[in-house]
Amino acid sequence: MAVLKAQKLVKKYGAREALRGVDFEASAGELVAVIGPNGAGKTTLLSILAGISKPDEGEIHVPQGDVGWVPQQAALYRRLTVEENLLLFARLEKHSDPQASTEEMLELTGLAERREEIVARLSGGNQQRINIAIGLLSRPSVLLLDEPSVGLDPRQRARLWEFVAGLAASNGTTVIFSTHDIQEAERYGRRLLVLADGEALFDGSPDELREAVRREAPEAADQDFETAFVAFLHHRGH
C-alpha cells in the first residue's frame, strides 16, 4: 500500500518547467532512488514531497507531519555541538522527552562519543550523519534524502548507505533519495525513478532499467551502466 502518492506534479520557475506532470508513489519500507542529470527536477520533486515548496499543479498525498527531510547541504548549526543540534530540533518538534530522543539518535548515528564536539569541526561525513539524524528525529514513516552522499569519501558513503538501508529494512521506513550517481542508485536503490528535464522517463527496478536501456539503446548495451544510461537518455531525446 502506498504511503506516499503524487499525481501530475507541475512546477514552474518563471518560464522554465522544472516538473512536467510527474506521477510517483512509494510503499512502506521501499528504498527509491530518484536519478537523472543536473537540472532534471530531482531536488524540486523532493522539496515538494517534503512540503518545502508547493506544486503549481497536481496533487500530493503524504502522511501529515510524518515525512523526514534531509536536504542536500547539511541543515544544522555548525557552531553548536552534535548534542545541542539534536536537542534543539527535538525540542522544536515538541518531543515529550527531547533528551531521550537525542540519546537515541546519538546511538543510531554512532556519534554518542562525539556528542560534545562542535559540528564545524566534524568531517563532512559525520555532519551528514547528524543531518540525517535530525531528519529521523520525528521517527518518520517516510524519509527524503536529497543527494546525501555528495562530498563523502567512499568509506563514508558505504557507512551512510549501510545506515540508510538498515532504516528501510529494520524500521520499515520508506526512503526516497536523489542522486546523479547511476552506479550508487543501482547498488542501493530497490526502485529507480528516472527524471530528465522535468519528465519521469522510467519507474522500476534496477534490472528493469538495465533491460530498458538494452532495449532502447542496444548500441551501448555492452558498455558500463553509466554509459548505457546516458545513451538511453539520448535516445529519449535528453
List of residues contacting another protein (CB under 8 A): 43-44, 47, 50-53, 65, 69, 71, 73-80, 84, 88-89, 91-93, 118, 134
Instruction: Please say which residue, 92 or 169, places its beta carbon nearer to another protein.
Output: 92
Instruction: Please say which residue, 118 or 158, places its beta carbon nearer to another protein.
Output: 118
Residue 138 beta carbon to another protein: minimum distance, rounded to whole angstroms: 10
Instruction: Please say which residue, 74 or 228, places its beta carbon nearer to another protein.
Output: 74
Residue 179 beta carbon to another protein: minimum distance, rounded to whole angstroms: 16
Instruction: Please say which residue, 84 or 181, places its beta carbon nearer to another protein.
Output: 84
Cα dihedral value 39, 41, 42, 46, nearest 10: 140
| Longest distance between any two alpha carbons in the chain, whole Å | 59
Grid cell digits, residue 200: 519521469
Residue 175 CB contacts under 8 Å (≥ 6 apart), including other chains:
30, 31, 32, 142, 143, 145, 164, 167, 168
Give CA–CA dist 19/197, Å, rounded.
7
Give CA–CA dist 103/115, Å, rounded.
9
Instruction: Please say which residue, 139 or 214, places its beta carbon nearer to another protein.
Output: 139
Cα dihedral value 191, 50, 66, 115, nearest 10: 100
Which phi and psi (to 5°) does residue 4 adopt?
A: -140, 135
Residue pair 201/194 in contact by the 8 Å Cβ criterion: yes
